[in-house]
Amino acid sequence: MTPGIGLPPRSELLDGRLVAKELKEEVRHELDELRASGHECGLATVMVGDDYSAAAYERRLRRLADALEIRYRHYWLAAETSHDEVARVVHQLNADPSVHGILLLRPLPVHVPEPQLFSQLDPCKDIEALHPENAGLLALGTPRFLPSTPASVFHILDRWLDESGQDRDRFYKGATIVVVGRSNNVGKPTLALGHARGAVVISCDEWASRSGHLAEFTLRADVLVVAAGVPDLISAEHVSDGAVLIDVGINPVTDSNTGRVRLVGDIDLPAVLHLARAATPVPGGVGPVTDVWLMKNCVAAARQAN
């Protein structure tokens, strides 16, 4: 851990639902301004198959869009739908002027190559910034859209720094941020946003755990962002005193006694909370903010289109 960051008097749980509520009001204000100029905002989601996590995400987005009065459409396609048919739906939405944001819900079936499909999105409607053009703009530090989950990670951190009276610039430029997970939609963009803030950023993934070296990296973290998709991957042996823990993992786990499905994170929070300066829970941490940030990106796309 970086010298001078300081140790916590106590651990603090970062309430993502409260942050999301405040961000939602900001988005509502942006929508009011958009409508005052005579324009609306439209969001379309596309899901292929019956993945539990994707379906749960779609339901949350539908409710949120309804609450914000954003025009919302959902396209569900059977798991065996061909790549060409999924691409046809994407091109249809690209050409629809009433749709400003398109979200392809993941995971996609193996016969539908994600990179190829995301490259077929209109980059001006790609509100998760996964089109190669948008990924390149982010890497160059001139993003069209900030991917919703990495943006939410730093929005939560920024708000915590402000509320605890810490200077953002001084904190980030003195911090080591370790990101566990290298996905195109979370891990890699999180690295870019950490670099943009002047932090030292270290990237690793679950393979470091399999080789027995994960703790060598995570113990250096002032801020540990975990997005590996592995339940309870991070335990006390991986966390240094005073680290800030941001858990992006949302893993459905079936209770062996009740048969009910519950969501758990990538961090074993009960085992590490005594070490943390601050931490996000699962559920109720990054997830709710991510949902609202996606709507924020959709409003930005509608504004850019008009």
In this structure, what token pair is assigned to residue 243?
């680290």
- Identify whether the C-beta of residue 46 lies closer than 8 Å to the C-beta of residue 75: yes
Cβ neighbours of 201 (radius 10 Å) = 20
182 annotated among ligand-binding-site residues: yes
Q: Name the pairing type of β-strands 42-48 and 71-77.
A: parallel
List strands edge to edge, sheet with 223-226.
200-204, 176-180, 223-226, 244-247, 278-279
164 has binding-site annotation: no
- Beta carbons of 102 and 131 less than 8 angstroms apart: no
Rounded to a whole number of angstroms, the CA Rg of the chain reads 19
Do the annotations mark residue 37 as ligand-binding? no
What is the Cα–Cα distance from 144 to 135, expressed in whole angstroms? 9
181 is in an annotated binding site: yes
Known binding-site residue numbers for NADP(+) = 181-183, 250
Known binding-site residue numbers = 181-183, 250
